[in-house]
Amino acid sequence: MPSKLETAQSPQALKRVVIEPLTRVEGHGKVTLLQDENQVIRQARLHITEFRGFEKFIQGRPYWELPVLVQRLCGICPVSHHLAAAKATDMIVGARELTATADKIRRLMHFGQTLQSHALHFFHLCSPDLLFGFDDDVRHRNIVGVIEDHPQIAKQGVLLRKYGQEIIRITSGKRIHGTGAIPGGINKSLRKSEIEYLQKDITQIIGWAQDSIELIKKIFFEHYAYHLAFASIESNMMSVVGADGAFELYDGGLRATDCWGKSIFDHVDYNDYEQYIREGIKNWSYMKFPFITSIGQEQGWYRVGPLARVNNCDFFSTPLAETERREFMAMGNGLPVQSTLAYHWARLIELLHCTEAIAELLNDRDLCGKDLLNRGELQLSGTGVIEAPRGTLFHHYEIDEQGIVEKASLIVSTTNNNQAMNESIRKVSNQYLDGNMLSEALLNQVEVAIRAYDPCLSCATHAIGKMPMQINLLNANNELVDRLEKRVDGQFDRTI
Amino acid sequence: MNGAQMTDSGLKAKLKVSTAALCGCFGCHMSLLDMDERFFKLVELIEFDRTPLTDIKRLGRCDIGLIEGGVANAENVEVLREFRRQCDILVAIGACAVNGGVPAMRNQFDLKECLEEVYIHGIGVENPQIPDDIEIPLLLDKVHPIHEVVKVDYFLPGCPPSADTIWTFLTQLIEGKAISFPYSLIHYD
């Protein structure tokens, strides 16, 4: 799709529509729509305007700093970067396997983080849209509005997130940017009192996770046709799966399937990921465009994250989540579920799985083990791949013989969804853009499409959740044809 | 400003608070949410104006502005100056706002080197080029702490400052008290 614009017969006649979220002024993202002479949107460009340059400035640092240094990429899902870097440095210190205690503590930490991140996205950021609708007063349509109108739902969301954060604190010492994982293992196991503290609330937490699925199903089925069709695109999907095909977040092989559910590759050793995934670059975004090498840049883009993981896995190892998966997959009638809004539903199935898996792990005596570290011979490179809340995350490092980082390559989760987000935006834009007139509906729907992906907004940019907008419609001569702005009170001004 | 102001009706008006994330990781905003149930109490005491948690687009007049992250591009400068204009009290929250933090590690390199490493010499890169479209804001050659751009009234260090630290700070500020912390809240890893 990317080159369709370039192949337009008369590119000089294309119109440019710029959608500037508030986030633009914060250096976040913005959207440009390019429209041809028949007023069809040929290309949507989600610009990622922030650049930090981690790959360069960690050069010259010792490898053992990586797990605590690179987690500063993101304060929303720091554990993902912490663990992906730790896995890469496991290989560097020659720890081919972790001790049972180290493996299970890291998994517990990761379940805790996925739980808190999914709860944050659903309750704090998306539930205002889902509960109040888009016509709601802009001063009310936020988490504070949910606290006022649906105190029970708000409370459950805040406490689900709190529980995940407490797991992170107990396994890593701090809720944000902790220090639990180190090359070859972990620095601390759990005390019995800490396990008892976490066990105290877990039954309640599982119950609330089930409530949240009931809520999203109710919302989804109330406008079923809309939810199914909205921003729906036919895409490939990629995720990590277990050796037995089980849903997996911490470790496994790479699986990619096409829009018919057919395998593109399966159980690929992620150390070889560079042979399977390459990244294109566009001059209008700091975010790269990964694609599956064998299919090529044009058609090889794919989706990652909850929707891809739930579609790709053969089963969940926990019973409640598995029951929910089956109901979810029935929607696809044998094909992968492609509805973009189904991301929300899939995310909450994962949240439920995390709570069940935590309950299981808390009964495991290995959590209190004393054997924390494995070390072997120093290797000069290492790769760590993990399923972060928003999708597959790749870290790769090369060091010199003194242990100093010489080269780093990071593909963050949201980057994997780059082209898919553009495709979803293009789809809704064509549906809601009426000739040369910008409409409120268009602004709202573009926001909804982007938000469904839960773009990690810090890994790839810094924006979070809400994106009040200004849209500029420019003609081929760069003249302003139309402009719409959303005011503080939620009303729209045509400011031209 | 001494505590919450009184309105005509005699009720206490809520203080208005805005927040922004410049070049940071959003961890300080997450730490704000880490006050958990106390967040319910906080929203009884304050009203959020423009923050990433609300849909409010334009920054209005505010009592308190909280800034996370350092200054790394032209838009960061613009947003920061707007916050200074509109907020009575401006607070630098976290290591990046206070001294540039991890993103300022790029200051030891040329910006060009950083861009080239990612977009030209990166592993697995197809059609290497450095993004330069007009829609992308201009990067600054160095990352700066926010006090190098505007006057800052309070600095709250930490990566991130803990929820307890933020809570203690905000409640004291709202009550019009002098800010003071027990040692445990300013003891860092």
Domain A54-415 falls under CATH 1.10.3210.10: no
The pLDDT of residue B27 = 93
Q: What share of chain B is helix, strand, coil (3-state, %, to 5)?
A: 35, 20, 40
Task: Return the exposure string of B60-91: e unless at least 16 CB atoms fall within 10 Å of the residue's CB, then b.
Answer: eebbbbbbbbbbbbebbbebbebbbebbebbb
**Yes or no, beta carbons of B30 and A76 under 8 Å apart:** yes
Q: What are the boundaries of each domain within chain B?
A: 15-103+142-178
Residue of A6, A26, A270 to mutate for B, most B C-beta atoms under 10 A: A26
B86 Rama class: left (phi>0) / alpha (psi -120 to 50) / beta:
alpha
Q: What is the pLDDT of residues B14-46, one digit of tens each?
A: 999 999 989 988 899 999 999 999 999 999 999
B124-137 burial, b if ≥16 CB within 10 A, otherwise e?
bbbeeeebeeebbb
Length of chain A equals 496
B contacts of A155 (beta carbons < 8 Å): 37, 40
Q: Is A24 on the interface with B (CB under 8 A)?
A: yes
State the DSSP code for A3. Answer: G
- The string of DSSP letters for A340-384 reads TTHHHHHHHHHHHHHHHHHHHHTT-GGGG-S--B------SEEEE
Which amino acid belongs to residue A376? G
User: Quick one: pLDDT at residue A1?
Assistant: 36
Residues 57-96 of A with CB under 8 A from B: 57-59, 69, 72-76, 78
B173 DSSP assignment: H
User: Which of A273, A276, A256, A306 has its CA nearest to residue A395?
Assistant: A273
The Cβ-side half-sphere exposure at B161, using a 13 Å CA radius, reads 28
Phi and psi torsions of A18, nearest 5°: -105, 125
Residue B1: per-residue pLDDT? 44
Q: Number of Cβ pairs closer than 8 Å across A and B?
A: 235
Q: Enumerate the domain spans of chain A.
A: 2-49+435-494, 54-415
Contacts of B131 in chain A (CB under 8 A): 281-286
Distance, in Å, from the CA atom of A489 to the CA atom of B56, rounded to the nearest integer, reads: 8
Chain A hits for B40, Cβ within 8 Å: 147, 154-155, 158
Q: Which A residues 260-279 touch B at CB under 8 Å?
A: 274, 277-279
Residue A13: the pLDDT is 57
d(CA A266, CA A254): 6
Q: ipTM, 2 decimals?
A: 0.92
- In terms of Cα–Cα distance, which of A287, A241, A274 is closest to A387? A241
- B73 and A50: CB-CB below 8 Å? yes
pTM: 0.90
Interchain proximity B25–A72, CB inside 8 Å: yes
Q: Is A347 part of the contact surface with chain B (CB cutoff 8 Å)?
A: no
Ranges in chain B, pLDDT < 50: 1-10
Q: What is the DSSP letter of B125?
A: B
pLDDT for the residue numbered A451: 81
Backbone angles phi, psi at A295, to 5 degrees: -95, -30
Whether A2 has its CB under 8 Å from any CB of chain B: the answer is no
A176: nearest Cα among B181, B35, B66, B16: B35
Q: What SS3 state is found at A216?
A: helix
Are residues B131 and A159, on separate chains, in Cβ contact within 8 Å? no
Q: What is the pLDDT along chain A (496 residues), one digit of tens a residue?
A: 334 443 344 445 566 666 544 332 334 557 777 777 777 777 778 877 778 889 999 999 999 999 999 999 888 889 999 999 999 999 999 999 999 999 999 999 999 999 999 999 899 888 887 888 766 776 787 888 889 999 999 999 999 999 999 999 999 999 999 999 999 999 999 999 999 999 999 999 999 999 999 999 999 999 899 889 888 899 999 999 999 999 999 999 999 999 999 999 999 999 999 999 999 998 888 889 999 999 999 999 999 999 999 999 999 999 999 999 999 999 999 999 999 999 999 999 999 999 999 999 999 999 999 999 999 999 999 999 999 999 999 999 999 999 999 999 999 888 899 999 889 988 888 887 766 666 767 777 787 788 888 876 544 432 333 344 555 555 555 556 666 655 444 456 665 6
What's domain B15-103+142-178's architecture? 3-Layer(aba) Sandwich (3.40)
Query: % helix / strand / coil in chain A, to the nearest 5?
Result: 45, 20, 35
Measure the CA–CA gap between A306 and A345, rounded to whole angstroms. 9
